[in-house]
Amino acid sequence: MAITSVKSTALQGIARGLQGLQRSAGEIASLRPDNKLPTRDEARALVELQQHLPPTTASIKTLSAADRMIGSLLDIKV
């Protein structure tokens, strides 16, 4: 697999993860402060927020690794 393909996939994963994080955070931000306990939808948004973190983090690490590989290849060539 080409490095550009890996970077493209990683960027897509980051974008998807950030969209999910933003959606869940928006739902959480719209919570009414007078509620003592979260409703089912509010609890779902909190769980989804946590579920979006690992794949987003993995995509960021993948992009970082691809960048390091490109840097290593450039060091070898020079």
For residue 36, tell me if it sits in a domain: yes
For residue 6, tell me if it sits in a domain: no
Mind listing the pLDDT tens digit for each residue in 16-57?
Answer: 999 999 999 998 888 777 767 777 888 899 999 999 999 999
Give me the number of domains the chain comprises.
Answer: 1
For residue 3, tell me if it sits in a domain: no
For residue 78, tell me if it sits in a domain: no
What pLDDT band is residue 76 in, cutting at 50, 70 and 90?
A: low
For residue 58, tell me if it sits in a domain: yes
- Give this prediction's pTM: 0.76
pLDDT at 60: 95
For residue 48, tell me if it sits in a domain: yes
End-to-end Cα, the chain, rounded Å: 23
**Residue 13 to residue 56: CA distance in whole angstroms:** 6
SS3 75: helix
pLDDT at 74: 62
Q: Residue 54 belongs to what domain range? A: 18-70
For residue 49, tell me if it sits in a domain: yes
